Structure 1
Amino acid sequence: MGASRVASWKDELEHLDIDGLIELIATYNPKSNSDLIRAAFEYGGLMHFGQYRHSGDPYFTHPFEVAQILADMQLDDATIITALLHDTIEDTGSTYSEVTDKFGAEIAELVDGVTKLTNLQLSSSETKQAENFRKLFMAMSKDMRVILVKLADRLHNMRTIKAMRPEKQIIKARETMDIYAPLAGRMGMQWMREELEDLAFSVLNPDGRMSIMRRFLSLQKQTGDVIEKITGDIRIELAKAGIDAAVLGRAKKPYSIWRKMEEKEQSFSRLSDIYGFRIITASEGDCYRALGAIHQRWRAVPGRFKDYISQPKSNGYRSIHTTVSGRDGKRVEVQIRTRAMHDVAETGVAAHWSYKDGVRSENPFAVDPAKWIATLTERFETADDHDEFLEHVKLEMYSDQVFCFTPKGEVVKLPRGATPLDFAYAIHTKIGDSCVGAKVDGIRVPLWTRIKNGQSVEIMTAEGQSPQATWIDIVVTGRAKAAIRRRLREEDRDRFIRLGRELARVAFEHVGRKVTDRVLETAAKQLRLKDASEVLARLGSAELTGVEVIATVYPELHSVGDEIDVDAAVVGLEPGQAFTRADCCQPVPGERIVGITYRGKGVMVHTIDCKSLAELEDESNRWVDIQWHSGRHPAVHTVSLDTTIANDAGVLGRICTLIGEQKANISDLRFLDRKPDYFRLIVDVDLRDLEHLHAVMLALEADSDVAALRRHRDLDRKP
């Protein structure tokens, strides 16, 4: 290659931070071969020079980002180098022998394995699909790192899918949803499964995803930052019990919520597990102590407790799951585990190649998934029937589902843990309502029996039979629960209406209002129910609460008081002491903060997790214990948002309108990058508090033309 070509390649990829990647790898693997990684970066960049992605970016940005994903997972050098080179043999003039000469046989084998996987059409016709699945599992059995690179490759392609043609987006998203996301989940990489599903969901059903995001936005307006409140409550209870643990809270991904709405046939407002919380303890004993503290403070929901520590899942997953009635009676799902258990739950198979301090990480809870692959491939080496092979593969991959059969041999798909009653309602509501017994594989069984994969189920019915109230606790599918509740509600409707009217009277009198037919009709309209009697029936059956009805009819009852003075926003300062928000982390009310004294500048307010505080750890005399004043703050706290939007007519204007609709002001706007398809810019927005920030970000994320959004932290802007 000529010197000018090398110079051109380096100029084209100067924005890729190879030094940063090498530095990241060194943090968990100090013995990493940085020279070999740099050589792979230069070789890959040179071989891909002149190739471009649909977005107009140099093609090599893709292998580099795939390597970045794997480095974030703390994987070994060979896997990361394979990521940098994974498209060279397929898309450039590079050859297997050349990669072997430069980087060794191990990496050449891995690159070749990824190349072969890329050429497999897993979403093709069933016969060809079965054969290609066989090849997929054979490649995985040789070296599982091949599929790790392929999954990271698919993840980055899905993150940048908006640059593809619409019809291509649909094909890739469907393949991701049907094959790659379940495969990531089966391998224990739950975070990747959730992100792949959500990215595919945004392509396959953008309106559905936007609907979920907007409902989240509406919910936050009504309840505030629930995650911060509940994590605070949990931390207080753990501190009382003397338990040292980290508490993490998060909202479920839009697709996860959508799927639960579909499975349970419930509206967004009726879902109980929109948020999830994790407690990470130091020891197994602390897990059970934490469970006791949680159950002592909040009432446990019957039937929602699972101990996967004493009885781990087959993939090594260990954790305690419980659901409690938390704030305002809302159900809250809590998972409790140790740090080692958490690592397995987060990384799955990747834990086998992760490094810490230069040595392979040995986790006592990890199960080697290669054994699962080996067992699977051995079983199918002699299988001649393609349909049988494909059926077994799907049974293995979709491990959270059960495939059973009717007496006529028709397949019925149910969630794991389903019972014959779920099976009956899956066939037809009338069959479920009139069910009196069931046979599984020809043997009479109780209705609460859990169905297993491949079993044949026969339902016995009788005229005059009707659902029993106890059935609600037996079934697991939303369809069955909804059908049973509907039938029970019909039978007890008159009683529920009478009870609901009394509950409504008490609730409305509590806020100084009267229940009238007009008020109930208004509530029915707002809640999209048939009429006032339906509102009362649902109140009486505990499907609605008086608080929810009042909030629907009289939202003004939740209004807030006067705004807090800007100069009095922080509590804990000495009289006359001035404060300033730090530019590096831009704290807003609602976030945990700490003050740092500066000579001549008063107190600088930082978020508790600001990275610039690391430089001040040894200067404890300068730290001030402060907090935000509780109440309503004015919208004067500037936060910078790093935003990537589609370069189409009207998009920027619509983004500005969305921010304005949230009663937020744009104080500045700076473009960082302009591409043929996308703009990247920094938007400075004046906000009230953390809840206001979340509302603005949710409104923007719900727009299909916003490709990426994150809070911009500028560590170079120090005091």
Structure 2
Amino acid sequence: MTHTSGAQTSEQSNKPRFLISDLCAYLESYLSVEHVREVYRSYVFSAEAHEGQKRLSGEPYIYHPLAVARILADIRLDHRCIMAAIMHDVLEDTTVTKAQLAEEFGEEVAALVDGVSKLNQINFPSKAEAQAASFRKMLLAMTQDIRIILIKLADRLHNMRTLEVMRPEKCRRIARETLEIYAPIAHRLGIYRLRTELEELCFAAYWPMRYRALKEAVSTARGNRKEVMSNIDAALVGRLEQEGIVGVVRGREKHLYSIYTKMRDKKRSFSEVVDVYAFRIIVDRLDTCYRVLGVVHNLYKPVPGRFKDYIAIPKANGYQSLHTLLFGPHGLPIEIQIRTVEMDRMADSGIAAHWLYKSSENQSGMAQADASSWLKNLLELQKDAGDSMEFLEHVKVDLFPDEVYVFTPRGKIMVLAKGATVIDFAYAVHSDVGNHTVAARVDRHMVPLRTRLYSGQTVEVITSETANPSAAWLNFVVTGKARANIRGYLKNLRHQEAITLGRRLLNKELAQHELNIDQIPLESLAQLLKDFHLTTKDALLEEIGLGNRMPFLVSRRLVDSAIDLPKGEAVVPSADSAPLAITGTEGMVVRFAKCCRPLPGDEIVAIFNPGKGIVVHRHECRNLGDFRKSDSWLDVKWEAEPAGDFTTEIKVDVGNKRGALASVASAISEMGSNIKNVVMEERDGLTSTLHFIVAVDSRKHLANIMRRLRLLNTVLRIYRVG
């Protein structure tokens, strides 16, 4: 694209240009003459639209979309996708509209071009938010047509190939974005050829010195390996011929970025990574793969625990192969991959194999099913994400799946990200299962919900209709789907609680005039909403519940219009108006101040905290200060029977005797209280102060605990903090 594309290297610029005639000649190898004519027509349209535009290298801009089309032609995509690739920047960089495109080339091509185009017509607070919104638009369009992301990957690949003319900091930014988003998407869709080239180009652009040093080291090492590789290759070919198996043996060279990440992430030396000799054996039938496995295990001894069967249990992107590690001659490690011809095509092209090899429907069908599953997951992430930045965060999490394979009680295989917990598993089964999870069994043993899962385990989730997600789950879940669902639930819960609290606060003020919100005339409410730039009554109540608008002022406006008071006459709240009742269960919009930690039974007041709701303090709290005279002050009281646990802090002075802490903690536990935190502070060598934060249900409960502690011989003094 105009602002993110670079120039070709001087070496490339000396090569003959790839022209439309070259593209058409190449396309004729697999497309009909009529379809090639359509492609040429799209080229003429794009060339006219980009007339006068140049890349940063000074070359005509049309060379870029032509190169993108060539990359997709190598994957043998259909003619409409090639047409969209040639015109992929016309909506973004020219005056052409989507309607014009649709009229000229049809809705399908127009939708493909629009899906790749950025959101230029909207102003965003930051460049990061603009990029996230464009990325979100592209991914959601991709859920309708997977070819959109293939065009974008080809576009990004050509931009990376021609990046050198850019400023170094811009090169690094584009390379980092590509490594974080586009290369992982290519991997997730199983398109090995695009992914590896993107990673190599990003490595060279982001860490140029490391790239050059590693390239030189690998070049030297490979020169010394040729004889060993040749001997192993001959041994493998000879043994296959001896067993009457027809197959192709290929030596595999590791890519530089792959070597670098293994050294970095697994803390291995260069020699440890490079000294592994890698081979791939390609055969004609699936059952022959397992015969070859037996042959190579008989030729060289296998390393225990290093065999992986990705044929029986494919990777999330549809990849299938047998992997084994062997002790070769002189103890040299040999990596072997065994797969069929179809599996090799799938490993190279992934979802694109659907167009590239239409004869192998079973294989491409599997890749399509895996891609469809991922795209369905993207739609769920979109539904629960609050904004584009959050959506991008969830997608990034899901793009790096080192997988674990676990089983449901019925034997179904579930593929999860490495480090996934029981909660991640529950959400992978279904969002409703995750939302109502209360417990789980792993291999028939009860385990905590934060338990990490490992391949081969059988997981059973126990649910309850009354259970709901906890905010604490966000501390340990790893998958984007689980995180998005939990955040979505908590946002909705906060939204509903804010509306409920706002209704109670507003009705409390309106009650002084024998009114409630439902009795306010619709025209009065509509005018108020218009003045406040709000759309619904619930939005107004939420604003009040979150402390963004004072209920007294909203009430005054509504009463003025409802009962038509003389202009300028204020509505003053009566001195004996009933205080708001606190139940203790409004956790998302009612907070209890940590400075004084109020308990049921304490005299309490509250203040508004804009954006968060109301904060409840004890009446004598020293931090209230000037709030006592402000409009944010609110009279509150406890309900007759408040629910839940409330935290409070106590200090206990004890003598320095062995077991003092244990005896105090045991006494607190005996009284039915849970210790949230304890800190021990030594004072003069003879005494220590124990700071406890404990959960109690009322002030009376706390008093009973303190009475029990005073009976202990080690306790010198006890008092409540705040």
Q: CA distance change for structure 1 residues 275 and 159 in 2, over 3 Å: closer, same or farther?
A: farther
Q: CA distance change for structure 1 residues 246 and 46 in 2, over 3 Å: closer, same or farther?
A: farther
Partner residue of 1:363? Answer: 364
Partner residue of 2:106? Answer: 104
Amino acid at match of 1:246: V
- The match for 2:379 among 377, 380, 383 is 377
* Rounded Cα–Cα distance in structure 2 between residues aligned with 1:446 and 1:150: 35
Partner residue of 1:140? Answer: 142
- The match for 1:211 among 207, 210, 213 is 213
Q: CA distance change for structure 1 residues 230 and 364 in 2, over 3 Å: closer, same or farther?
A: farther
Question: Percent identity of the aligned residues?
Answer: 41
- The match for 2:280 among 257, 278, 298 is 278
Partner residue of 1:27? Answer: 29
* Higher deviation after alignment, 247-256 or 24-33: 24-33
Q: Does the CA contact (< 8 Å) of 1:298 and 1:326 recur in 2?
A: yes
Query: What's the CA shift string for 1:570-607, capped at 9, x where partnerless?
Result: xxxxxxxxxxxxxxxxxxxxxxxxxxxxxxxxxxxxxx
Query: What's the CA shift string for 1:615-647, capped at 9, x where partnerless?
Result: xxxxxxxxxxxxxxxxxxxxxxxxxxxxxxxxx
Partner residue of 2:568? Answer: none
Structure 2 length-normalised TM: 0.52
Give the 3-state SS of the residue equivalent to 2:224 in structure 1: helix
Amino acid at match of 1:348: G
Residues 406-485 of structure 1 aligned to structure 2 (within 5 Å): 416=418, 441=448
Query: What's the CA shift string for 1:151-189, capped at 9, x where partnerless?
Result: 100001101111222222111111111111111111111
* Rounded Cα–Cα distance in structure 2 between residues aligned with 1:119 and 1:378: 26
Query: What's the CA shift string for 1:308-358, capped at 9, x where partnerless?
Result: 11122233221111111234422121111111122221111222333559x
Gaps of 5+ in 2: 1-14, 405-415, 423-445, 460-472, 478-722
* Rounded Cα–Cα distance in structure 1 between residues aligned with 2:261 and 2:123: 27
Q: Does the CA contact (< 8 Å) of 2:342 and 2:363 recur in 1?
A: no
Q: Does the CA contact (< 8 Å) of 1:325 and 1:331 recur in 2?
A: yes
- The match for 2:395 among 378, 393, 396 is 393
Q: Does the CA contact (< 8 Å) of 1:353 and 1:360 recur in 2?
A: no
Q: Does the CA contact (< 8 Å) of 1:419 and 1:447 recur in 2?
A: no
Query: What's the CA shift string for 1:446-487, capped at 9, x where partnerless?
Result: 9999899x79789xxxxxxxxxxxxxxxxxxxxxxxxxxxxx
Give the 3-state SS of the residue equivalent to 2:280 in structure 1: strand
* Rounded Cα–Cα distance in structure 2 between residues aligned with 1:330 and 1:419: 37
Partner residue of 2:486? Answer: none
Q: Does the CA contact (< 8 Å) of 1:185 and 1:193 recur in 2?
A: yes
Alignment coverage as a number of residue pairs: 416
Query: What's the CA shift string for 1:55-99, capped at 9, x where partnerless?
Result: 232211111111111011111111111111111222234332332
Q: CA distance change for structure 1 residues 23 and 232 in 2, over 3 Å: closer, same or farther?
A: farther
Q: CA distance change for structure 1 residues 355 and 307 in 2, over 3 Å: closer, same or farther?
A: closer
Q: Does the CA contact (< 8 Å) of 1:18 and 1:41 recur in 2?
A: yes
Partner residue of 1:324? Answer: 326
- The match for 1:55 among 57, 63, 71 is 57
* Rounded Cα–Cα distance in structure 1 between residues aligned with 2:324 and 2:123: 41
- The match for 2:152 among 150, 162, 178 is 150
* Rounded Cα–Cα distance in structure 1 between residues aligned with 2:384 and 2:450: 32
* Rounded Cα–Cα distance in structure 1 between residues aligned with 2:125 and 2:321: 35
Give the 3-state SS of the residue equivalent to 1:323 in structure 2: strand
Structure 1 length-normalised TM: 0.52
Amino acid at match of 1:88: V
Based on CA coordinates, which of the two structures has the bigger radius of gyration?
Answer: 2
Cα deviation for residue 117 of structure 1 reads 7.0
- The match for 1:198 among 197, 200, 206 is 200
* Rounded Cα–Cα distance in structure 2 between residues aligned with 1:163 and 1:150: 21
- The match for 1:290 among 279, 289, 292 is 292
Partner residue of 2:682? Answer: none
Give the 3-state SS of the residue equivalent to 1:40 in structure 2: helix
* Rounded Cα–Cα distance in structure 1 between residues aligned with 2:78 and 2:165: 31
Cα deviation for residue 375 of structure 1 reads 3.1
The question of 1:242 aligning with 2:270 is answered no
The question of 1:336 aligning with 2:352 is answered no
- The match for 2:259 among 253, 257, 268 is 257
Q: Does the CA contact (< 8 Å) of 1:248 and 1:277 recur in 2?
A: yes
Q: Does the CA contact (< 8 Å) of 1:47 and 1:94 recur in 2?
A: yes
* Rounded Cα–Cα distance in structure 2 between residues aligned with 1:415 and 1:372: 13
Q: CA distance change for structure 1 residues 137 and 89 in 2, over 3 Å: closer, same or farther?
A: closer
Cα deviation for residue 132 of structure 1 reads 4.8
Query: What's the CA shift string for 1:681-715, capped at 9, x where partnerless?
Result: xxxxxxxxxxxxxxxxxxxxxxxxxxxxxxxxxxx
* Rounded Cα–Cα distance in structure 1 between residues aligned with 2:107 and 2:388: 33
Amino acid at match of 2:224: Q
- The match for 1:41 among 34, 40, 43 is 43
Amino acid at match of 1:342: D
Which has the higher relative contact order, 1 or 2, with Cα contacts under 8 A spaced 6 or more apart? Answer: 1
Cα deviation for residue 378 of structure 1 reads 3.2
* Rounded Cα–Cα distance in structure 1 between residues aligned with 2:230 and 2:121: 46
- The match for 1:223 among 217, 222, 225 is 225
Amino acid at match of 2:204: S
Cα deviation for residue 379 of structure 1 reads 4.3
Q: Does the CA contact (< 8 Å) of 1:40 and 1:85 recur in 2?
A: yes
* Rounded Cα–Cα distance in structure 2 between residues aligned with 1:303 and 1:123: 52
* Rounded Cα–Cα distance in structure 1 between residues aligned with 2:278 and 2:125: 33
Q: CA distance change for structure 1 residues 205 and 314 in 2, over 3 Å: closer, same or farther?
A: closer
Amino acid at match of 2:368: V
Give the 3-state SS of the residue equivalent to 1:28 in structure 2: coil
Give the 3-state SS of the residue equivalent to 1:163 in structure 2: coil
The question of 1:354 aligning with 2:351 is answered no
Amino acid at match of 1:195: E
Q: Does the CA contact (< 8 Å) of 2:421 and 2:451 recur in 1?
A: no
Residues 682-693 of structure 1 aligned to structure 2 (within 5 Å): none
Q: Does the CA contact (< 8 Å) of 1:257 and 1:274 recur in 2?
A: no
Amino acid at match of 1:179: I
Q: Does the CA contact (< 8 Å) of 2:88 and 2:113 recur in 1?
A: yes
Amino acid at match of 1:76: D
Q: Does the CA contact (< 8 Å) of 2:381 and 2:391 recur in 1?
A: no
Amino acid at match of 2:270: F
